[in-house]
A and B are shown apart, each in its own frame.
Chain A
């Protein structure tokens, strides 16, 4: 007997110790996972805010796209914050939301915007007082927060009190009192289960639901239920209620969209209503709370009647619990569901751009700091332009597939849009699909082909101040002896020689032999040195073929080189990030605006004009024809066997660059004008455009030259406008087809100096 008691005692002791150890283990597991979860809001990445001022190029449509992206709602009465009203065809009233920017607070304000002919023609408040300049709030591009990149996380203090009260009234009335599990809840569930003869109802507290969402599968077995209860008690003992509630608000499952699960109220608010949680009406808050019961079965897009019934039940329960007034509940019950048909999903749609943002911040912030609480990152990303660039690439790749140029449908591409004077990056498309994979815009290194030619010409113009766009260059076979003893005879693809061409024709029609003649005449070493100084690195061994583009650069680096040309020779370091504000309100500009002259402005101007000629009479004519009356500059690039198709274009403000090719660098028979040009043609069509107008720098004057670089009458067929150096004028003739200045008056230089 004594032995039996001793045995039982030992057994129970071992069991207790064992249970204790299990508990300690479970607890360690739980706290480890829960702490790692850390629902920090993370860093918020913003697009550029839309600036409003008289003269700002803007269409009604672009404004409405912006307002839709921001979740502004159209109303018919006087707009409140986050609402707008169409007053007439070209006038729109809105109340902006207000936003704390890096450079100070932009207040919520009433704005009356008048738009005509592609720009803002009037900007006042509702009373008619002129407003000089105002900013809308910025679109959120992404939340950078470790594993929750696609969630819009919220802080408890930012969640409307009403919503929290309704939630607790409906899901867990004893939340603030119980210890993780609710005995009354369990008793009620047990009663129901007994009656049903099976395990049907959970009686779960919010804490238990959180556990279930976080750690457990959805099956309803008793052992699961037991572990859930133990976890809930442990969690409640160690974390305060508000911590648990905040985690719940960010974790609870509220819907499914394709492969994407909608977790948390912040994300769900965007997903169902297209606006931030703080702007939801009571009826909308109740709809989200209603969804907890069964996000799929109650999906308001699919089952509006069921959803509405459940929502109204939630409102009744909340009124019955006394957390909202009965009359408010009734009023909310009479509201429509208000769920836009298409989900406004924009979190995580711009991985290539966000990657560039993260790289710019890499030097200053560790990965941990970057995703830690509350950094606000302001960027230059332009949602409208970004969509235009993506659309251009998608359309073009589809067309290549249909034309049989890409039977495998594996062709890839990259697109960049930049603001020329500020170097701000507005769009980064890294590939066919915006999946966050290989970012070709930043990381592909490809031969640049003819994109190098403007820099060869710039070298010539820099070293020979008497050269200009009408200077003649030989275009016939040329052979160079290479260091290894080989002979190099670059050829024009056409296998024809023009004999002589002007520099303008050389660039506009991209002629190989003439480019090599020019380089050798200037001095191959000197030209290669200049390429390096313009920021085009050379392949090992400084191959002379560098002047025809054997250097390999990324699309982004190449866009930077052209930014310099289109900005009068002033290079502005490219940047996506405008400013970062840390949680203490400290503002950091990782890369403030800077500029550096790397090319004489006269040279940049002349090259710029020759690239305008390229859209008029050269390899980019198709672009010029697509936008009649709009002056643009452009350059095509194609590499051997059509492995790479490049296209760079510029209107007054926007530089676009497109690259098309294959990741495995296969022979592709692509060409810049056929494969890459259409990308930008489509992108420019979708954005505001302005003709390129560049003031002529000192030292140059305007004249008309024929194809032989002779100064002729402007009416001569084939004569084109050129800017020539004041100090060394070209020969003059009254004969339109003159190949020299024969038989005519001498140049003014000769007259003055008897030359």
Chain B
């Protein structure tokens, strides 16, 4: 269904979408689109009086320098994939030390200093979802509820396969959304947390 809708949207007669055994790559193309010209009409009449600035731009051949071939060729084909599976997650000792210090400061009520330690940890290990979780927790305590949700959301993105951490992050997001009065969003977050049990 999704594929057919996508094909329909770009207005192609796309064999691959129908019963044919032949799969053809779709070609994105403006001129086949009946309404294409309409799409660039102005949304308000006032704008018709404004002449568009001249097109200054973009001059691929010049940018390409010596390479004029459009279709890329072989040399890099054998380079290993960019995202080789992430090795077992180990938090560097420096980060553990800073997380500990931040936790002590947080317990002692010095949220600013705690936050500052976590930002140091973030600079050392910006891929470490645990740091985002701790930062989101501090922001929430500091009253930055929306900021807390955003930081935790990035934490979820980085947590990979660490389901326990993801669950904590979603639970934190749920709490923060509750505080924002976003009951629906909070419930969704709780459902996602529970699904990770």
Contact = CB atoms under 8 A, between A and B. Distances in A.
Interface of A: 51, 53-56, 102-104, 130, 132-133, 419-422, 424, 447, 449-450, 453, 460, 464-467, 470-475, 478, 480-484, 486, 488, 490, 492-494, 498, 500-501, 504-505, 508-512, 515-521, 523-526, 539-545, 548-550, 568, 570, 578-579, 587, 589, 592-597, 601, 609, 612-613, 616-619, 621-622, 631, 636-643, 653, 671-674, 692-697, 702, 704, 707-710, 714, 716-721, 727-728, 730-732, 739-744, 746-747, 749-750, 755
Q: Which 3 residue pairs are nearest across A and B when measured between Cβ atoms?
A: A640-B56, A741-B23, A421-B126
Interface string B19-41: 10111111111110100110111
B117 to A, nearest CB: 6
Nearest to A732: B23
A725 to B, nearest CB: 9
B6 A473 contact: no
Contacts of B31: 474, 478, 517
Given A478-B31, A579-B116, A642 B51 contact: no
A720 B77 contact: yes
Nearest to B100: A132
Given A640-B56, A718-B74, A708 B25 contact: yes
Interface residues of B, number: 93
Given A473-B27, A640-B56, A728-B2, A133 B50 contact: no
A300 to B, nearest CB: 41
Contacts of B53: 539, 543, 545, 550
Contact of B39 (A524, A621, A637): A524
A521 B56 contact: no
A578 B119 contact: yes
B151 interface: yes
Contacts, number: 375
A587 B58 contact: no
Contact of A542 (B43, B51, B81, B113): B43
A499 to B, nearest CB: 9
B93 interface: yes
B24 A741 contact: yes
A704 B123 CA distance: 35
B59 to A, nearest CB: 4
A462 to B, nearest CB: 13
Given A472-B28, A521-B36, A640 B57 contact: yes
Given A447-B57, A594-B151, A740 B39 contact: no
Nearest to B118: A593
A539 B160 CA distance: 40
Contacts of B192: none
B30 A478 contact: yes
A483 B60 contact: no
B120 A51 contact: yes
Nearest to A642: B62
Given A54-B93, A474-B27, A642-B62, A466 B3 contact: yes
Contacts of A51: 94, 120, 123-124
A642 to B, nearest CB: 7
A448 to B, nearest CB: 9
A619 B151 contact: no
B78 to A, nearest CB: 8
A544 B64 CA distance: 24
A692 B67 contact: no
Interface stretch (B9-17, B174-182, B183-191): B9-17
Given A460-B28, A472-B28, A509-B60, 19 more contacts: A53-B94, A133-B93, A422-B122, A470-B25, A472-B25, A484-B52, A510-B60, A521-B10, A545-B53, A550-B55, A616-B76, A618-B67, A638-B57, A642-B59, A653-B126, A696-B83, A707-B71, A718-B72, A740-B24
